[in-house]
């Protein structure tokens, strides 16, 4: 027989617990239960929340929520289009909260600062995204431009496109940033080929490629730090 939320003591009901003690006193599953409000015919909202948090086999708990697609969420009994959208919005809010600073105010003067800026935005992506980041003489970001998504392939990345934009926005230097969905930030041969290709184009225009940052899962690789741009 299904145990409903109303069957729980008042002190254990997520919504009431949140009202009395605040959201900081709720478990991950209880936080989701407050958003879900209802469960399904067999599970209450807390039990349903636990199923959601275990849905991704590789990434468990709240981290796993960031990797789930709408289709995967809707495979869970009790999760329809509305609830799936609510859960996806949570992930998007997390990403946007991590990027509250406007691009013009962001100073990216070191590989670590660049990696930290992009980490939360890219570490959960299941496809590779490649960005060109344009900096002024004070290392403040003028803008970022997504060059391609899906894979890092030299045939898909156009140095001409990257540097036309650099000239338009009067950039002093350029940084390439892309993610590895595997979580391993070690560069591939294709990553190295792309880096050389863009670096050589920048040298001709006197707008140097000062780094290529690869984002992994809470890790990064910097071509500059590794001395790969001096070759």
Question: What CATH number is attached to the domain comprising 186?
Answer: 3.40.140.10
Contact 30, 17 (CB under 8 A): yes
pLDDT in tens, the chain (231 residues): 567 877 787 778 888 988 888 998 899 999 999 999 888 888 999 999 999 999 988 877 888 888 888 999 999 999 999 999 999 998 888 777 766 654 555 678 899 999 988 987 888 888 899 999 999 999 889 999 999 887 766 557 889 999 999 999 999 999 999 999 889 999 999 999 999 999 999 999 999 999 999 999 889 999 999 998 886
Strand 141-150 with 220-222, pairing: unpaired
Full domain range(s) for residue 138 = 103-230
Q: Where are the strands (E) in the chain, listed by range?
A: 128-135, 141-150, 173-179, 209-215, 220-222
Q: How many whole angstroms separate alpha carbon 70 and alpha carbon 87?
A: 9
Q: Are residues 177 and 159 in the same domain?
A: yes
Nearest to 112 by CA among 210, 182, 194, 213: 213
Q: Are residues 170 and 152 in the same domain?
A: yes
The CB density around residue 164, as the number of other CB atoms within 10 Å, is 11
Q: Are residues 70 and 112 in the same domain?
A: no
pLDDT, residue 102, reads 44
pLDDT, residue 191, reads 92
Q: Which long-range contacts (CB under 8 A, 24 or more apart) does 65-69 make?
A: 65/32, 65/90, 65/91, 66/91, 66/94, 66/124, 67/124, 67/126
Contact 33, 48 (CB under 8 A): yes
Q: Are residues 45 and 110 in the same domain?
A: no
Q: Give pTM, 2 decimals.
A: 0.64
C-alpha count within 13 angstroms, C-beta hemisphere, residue 152: 26
- Give residue for tokens 């984002």: 215
Q: What is the DSSP letter of 187?
A: P
Q: Are residues 40 and 72 in the same domain?
A: yes
Q: Are residues 199 and 135 in the same domain?
A: yes
């Amino acid at each position: 027989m299904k145990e409903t939320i109303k069957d729980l003591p008042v002190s254990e009901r997520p919504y009431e617990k949140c009202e009395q003690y605040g959201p900081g006193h709720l478990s991950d599953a209880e936080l989701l239960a407050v958003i879900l409000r209802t469960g399904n015919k067999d599970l209450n909202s807390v039990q349903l929340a636990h199923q959601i948090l275990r849905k991704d086999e590789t990434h468990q708990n709240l981290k796993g929520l960031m990797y789930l697609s709408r289709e995967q969420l809707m495979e869970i009994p009790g999760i329809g289009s509305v609830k799936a959208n609510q859960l996806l919005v949570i992930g998007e809010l997390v990403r946007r909260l991590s990027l509250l600073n406007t691009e013009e105010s962001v100073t990216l003067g070191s590989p670590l600062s660049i990696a930290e800026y992009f980490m939360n935005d890219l570490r959960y992506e299941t496809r590779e995204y490649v960005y060109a980041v344009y900096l002024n003489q004070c290392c403040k970001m003028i803008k970022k431009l997504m060059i391609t998504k899906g894979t890092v392939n030299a045939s898909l990345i156009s140095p001409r496109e990257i540097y036309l934009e650099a000239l338009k926005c009067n950039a002093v230097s350029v940084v390439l940033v892309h993610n590895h969905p595997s979580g391993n930030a070690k560069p591939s041969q294709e990553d190295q080929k792309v880096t050389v290709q863009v670096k050589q184009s920048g040298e001709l225009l006197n707008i140097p490629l000062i780094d290529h940052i690869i984002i992994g899962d809470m890790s990064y690789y910097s071509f500059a730090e590794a001395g790969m741009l001096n070759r």
